[in-house]
Amino acid sequence: MNRVRQEIIGPCRLFCGDSLEILPELEDESVDLVVADPPYSSGGAFRGDRAQSTKTKYQSSQVIDAKPLFSGDNRDGRSYLAWCSLWLIQLERILKPGAMCCLFSDWRQLPTMTDAIQVGGFVWRGILPWDKVDARPMPNRFRSQCEYLIWSTKGPRDFSTAGATYHPGMLRHPAPTGNARQHSTQKPVEILAEIIKVTREGETVVDNFMGSGSTGVACIETDRQFIGIEKDPTYFRIACDRIAKAWKAKNSELPLDEPPKRKRQPLVMPPLPGMEIDR
């Protein structure tokens, strides 16, 4: 086992490392929701297109402040299916029965990802289009204005009306821009907060491709616990900084007579046996 860097910030436990190494250390049936945005390995019809850098694929050539590159984005179709299946099998193991697994994908990878989800053992339930509203106009063709959230469950879920909550079938919010954008494929916190509402306050959400930490920020804002994994040390640092800032802002919102909620809930995860932790 490689040395793994870990940070704990409020209700968030953050790991810098490979999902395939860290997920196996998490406890069976300990998690209430997965929301993850894996590298799409997309961006073109041919292998050569996919092999381009993430800057070329996901940022306009006019962008001045180029975002750091990230890895895992250039697999071909068959290897992408095999790789996704490996971590999906782990996600299925750590989720509680009936819990949801929600994954972002683009139109090209929808068929492969929905296959991988089922290889992982999940029941595929549907897709929610994410309307990015102000997508770039493209000459003589339709805009690439949507990405997709694929949702699935670990076995049957309670769909009865008793105590039910109700959720949208479509997501709509622009992607972050300007100073708010820290990652070339960053998802809006507003969209993640909407998705997370399928859990209750205090429950645990996992994002095993957390990038700049958007899901962690949404968890803090909606009072959920969070486990995040990011392989790239530059993005791990960005995620830690964003999540620490969100946690500080959350605590400063509290009325003066209410103590900060630092120890409000024990983390669900026990210490990870056999894993050397660097802090």
Ligand X SMILES: C[S@@+](CC[C@H](N)C(=O)[O-])C[C@H]1O[C@@H](n2cnc3c(N)ncnc32)[C@H](O)[C@@H]1O
Instruction: Write down the least CB distance from residue 76 to ligand X, Å.
Output: 16
**Which residues, other chains included, contact 27 with Cβ-Cβ below 8 Å and sequence gap of 6+?**
94, 268, 269, 270
15 forms part of the interface with ligand X (CB under 6 A): no
Nearer to ligand X, 173 or 261 (CB): 173
In Å, how far are 2, 67, 268 from 264, measured between CA atoms? 32, 35, 12
Question: Judged by CB under 6 A, how many residues of this single chain contact ligand X?
Answer: 21
**Strand-by-strand arrangement of the 277-278 sheet:** 171-172, 123-131, 146-153, 95-105, 31-36, 204-207, 225-230, 12-16, 4-9, 277-278
Give me the least distance between CB of 186 and ligand X, in Å please: 4
Asked if 229 is part of the footprint of ligand X (rule: CB under 6 A), the reply reads yes
Cα angle, residue 46 at apex, residues 121 and 90 outer, rounded to 5°: 20
Q: How far is the CB of 77 from ligand X (least distance, A)?
A: 17
Angstrom distances, CA of residue 169 to CA of 150, 160, 196: 11, 18, 14
Residue 211 in the binding site for ligand X (CB under 6 A): yes
The yes or no reply on residue 2 touching ligand X (CB under 6 A) is no
Residue 185 interacts with ligand X (CB under 6 A)? yes
Rounded to the nearest whole angstrom, what is the least distance from the CB of residue 231 to ligand X in the complex? 4
CA 124 from centroid of its chain's CA atoms: 18
Assess 39 for contact with ligand X (CB under 6 A).
yes
Residue of minimal Cβ distance to ligand X: 211
Considering only 98, 232, 241, 250, the residue that binds ligand X (CB under 6 A) is: 232
In Å, the largest CA–CA distance within the chain is 60
Adjacent-strand bridge partners of 150? 103, 127
- d(CA 104, CA 186) in angstroms, rounded, equals 11
User: Which residue's CB is nearer to ligand X, number 24 or number 98?
Assistant: 24
- Note whether 115 binds ligand X by CB under 6 A: no
Tell me the CA distances in angstroms from 269 to 27, 66, 145, one per residue in order.
7, 36, 38
Minimum gap (Å) between residue 176 Cβ and ligand X: 8
Contact residue for ligand X among 72, 98, 121, 129 (CB under 6 A): 72
**Taking CB under 6 A as the rule, does residue 152 contact ligand X?**
no
Among 10, 12, 19, 150, binds ligand X (CB under 6 A): 19
Q: Which of 187, 206, 219, 244 binds ligand X (CB under 6 A)?
A: 187
Query: Which residue's structure tokens are 């095993």?
Result: 208
Options 25-33, 105-113, 180-188, 265-273: segment touching ligand X (CB under 6 A) = 180-188
Beta bridge partners of 146: 131
221 binds ligand X (CB under 6 A): no
DSSP H or E run through 94: helix 77-94
Applying CB under 6 A, does 109 fall inside the site for ligand X? no
Give the interface with ligand X as residue ranges (CB under 6 A). 18-20, 37, 39, 70-72, 183, 185-187, 209, 211-212, 214, 229-232, 235
